[in-house]
Every structure is written in C-alpha cells, then in structure tokens.
Amino acid sequence: MEMKKRISLELRNRSPAEVRELVVDSCRSADGEVEGVTEEFSALEVLSMVNVGLGSLAKLPALPKLRKLEVSDNSISGGLDALAEKCPNLSYLNLSGNHIKELSSLQPLQNLKNLKSLDLYSCGVTAADGYRDAVFRLLPQVVYLDGFDPDDNEVPESNDEDDEAGPPGDEDEDEDEEEGSEVGLSYLMKEGIQVSLAVVSSSEDDDAPAQGEKRKRDADDEGDDDDDE
C-alpha cells in the first residue's frame, strides 16, 4: 500500500491536527521520500515509518512536538541535517537497519539537544572499533545507545500503567480502607453475637416469671385435689 493511502486510512475521519501518534509501517514510499506527512500534523508526538523504503528524511515536514521517530529498516545513509531544524524536541530516534556506515553521518544529530536515546542496530557504523565510546563522545546528550548507557545499564522500560494508577498514595489509602472494612466487619460480627446472646438471655428472663406462675398454678391445682379427697 502506498504511504499516502495508508496515512489517509490511519486518520479515521480525524483532522491531521488531532493526531498524536501515526504508524505507517510496511507501506511503500513511491520515491524513497516521506510522503503524506505534512505540517498539518502539528500535534504529532510519535511517528513510525518502519520498512517503507525511505532513502532520505529531507522531505520530513516541521513537526515541533515530535519526540519519537522510528525509521528502522529503511535505506537511509545520511542527510540527517533536517532533523534538528524540523524536529527540535526529538528525544528518541531509531535508525536501526539503515545504511549508516560512517560516524560522520551522525554529526548533524549534535544539534538535537533533547536526544536521549539512539538506536543504530544493524547499521554498518556499529562494526567500527570503539563504536559506542565514539558515539557517546560525538553526541554527549545521548544517554542510551542501542538500549544501554555508557556503563552498560539498560534503558528502563516505560510503564504506561503509572498514568492510569492515579496519584501517589491512593494504593495505601485503598489498603487502609480494606483493613478498616475488615476490622469493621469483625467488630460488627462480634457485636452481632453479643446482641444475639443478649436477646436470648432477655427472652429467657421474660419466660422465667411465666414458668414460675405455671408451676404455682399446678401446685395449687394439686392442693385442691387433695382437699376434695
């Protein structure tokens, strides 16, 4: 499927300005350039164009809010100059599986001051001696290269569930509520037993006079029978 048609489908009756994430992986670019993505995508934060036949990013439009760009498995060999000008807030860039062979090809990324994570898996440049140290020296703003920092600490996984979990402290409050419910239930059950016992005791006390009167009447009846005899 052509890239322009795929983007049209991905819009799903939305205007480009409403789209924050756009994924057009495995479609085809007719001329090896970015197609269908325009400056109208002004709110775009995540753009994924994996395996679409890109040979250049020269026609990438200005996307001031873009922070994540996935362009792995294409044929990009250089021409990264446009990124700093058009995507100044880019913090993650995946160029894995492209034709980047020289360290000098990465030099334009020095102008991406917010770039924190860069992936270059399966690019020719990774075969160079001292590749990792050289990239960290060239791009001091980069914290993670191919998923690891200079001390070989792996990049932490982002946890989307944190945003859905509510503000800090809610979990403790929920636990306190549960414990309070359990204590309250135990208390009520205990009180319920005591109330039941009290009811039984009260019933027995109420029955005692009646039983006494019955025994007295029975005794009086026996006395009358003796007098008759």
pLDDT single digits (tens) 27-75 = 999 899 999 999 999 999 999 999 999 999 999 999 999 999 999 999 9
Count of positions (residues) in the chain:
229
DSSP 158: P
- In angstroms, the CA 229 to CA 221 distance is 13
Given a contact cutoff of 8 angstroms between Cβ atoms, the answer to whether 135 and 118 are in contact is: yes
- In angstroms, the CA 209 to CA 177 distance is 48
Phi, psi of 136 (to 5 degrees): -65, -35
Which tens digit of pLDDT belongs to each residue from 174-200?
444 444 444 444 444 544 544 444 444
Place of tokens 């030099």: 107
Given a contact cutoff of 8 angstroms between Cβ atoms, the answer to whether 116 and 142 are in contact is: yes
Residue 3, Cβ density class (10 Å: 0-12 exposed, 13-18 middle, ≥19 buried): buried
HEC-encoded secondary structure of 41-88: CCCCCEEECCCCCCCCCCCCCCCCCCCEEECCCCCCCCCCHHHHHHCC
Higher pLDDT, 77 or 220: 77
- In angstroms, the CA 118 to CA 147 distance is 8
Which tens digit of pLDDT belongs to each residue from 3-39?
999 999 999 999 999 999 999 999 999 899 999 999 9
Query: Tell me, which fold does domain 3-145 have in CATH?
Result: 3.80.10
